[in-house]
Structure 1
Amino acid sequence: MVVFHMVSPSNEKTKAEFVEMDLVSLLLESIIESKKSYCERALGVIDKLCETKQGRESACNNALAMPVMVKKILRVSKLTTEYSVSAIWKLSKYEEKVLMEALQVGAFKKLLLLVQVGCGDETDEKATELFEINESIHTWSGVY
């Protein structure tokens, strides 16, 4: 909980220090089979760390990032869904390959279901934007 509050403000230096300690990888490994409350806090920290370039690079370079975040959408709680979608959105805005990886592990179906069943406005906007990014990638590359 303390780490979440330390990264919540826009303190880039603190976030960079946590990324240097490989916190993204440690959290991803620990939330695979964790309880709801821990999962919520860990994904919240990952989401906040993805606001920085170093945090996004750390998440992009971790093979667990997309499978774990996609798995947590609609499975644990509304909060874990919001944090997962937000982190995927932040990563996809900077790295096209991230969205492709997310789609390969089932994000498209989960995001579609999420939009259909309803979620918070901000999460809905991010999910919709992920669909738009996906569509522009396929249109640009000629792949459908």
Structure 2
Amino acid sequence: MNKIISALAAMLFAAGLAPAATAASTPTQDTRLQLTAERNVDGQDTVAFVWLDCPASDRPAHPHHAEACAALDAAGGDLDALRGAPDGSCTAEHSPVTLSAQGTYRGRTLDWTRTYGNNCEATVKTGAVLSF
């Protein structure tokens, strides 16, 4: 599955959808993250991705953009410190989902990956940021 993600990232870069490098590396305080979810749905491996840009850009937007940016800021860019659903009641279903985030948070490089037991657990832990 990691080979698929690497190939997808390479294709996006080649197609010009990846963040462009600037001639003079000026630091930015913007957040530019590619969020990826690897799941097995009905026996089929699936990979979904979305961009979370704060402030918003012209790339395909996160479905909960404003809420996700606010939650990420509240956690100081620490995806392990995100606050998801407060009740957090999930079944013990074993259907792993691997979530990842690569890019920058307020100018700081971020490279994060976690695997959760199922989609419910992932949503409880990460809230709006990785719900897509």
TM-score bracket, shorter-length normalisation: under 0.3
TM-score by length of 1: 0.24
More strand by share: 2
**Bigger radius of gyration, 1 or 2?**
2
Higher relative contact order (CA 8 A, sep 6+): 2
More helix by share: 1
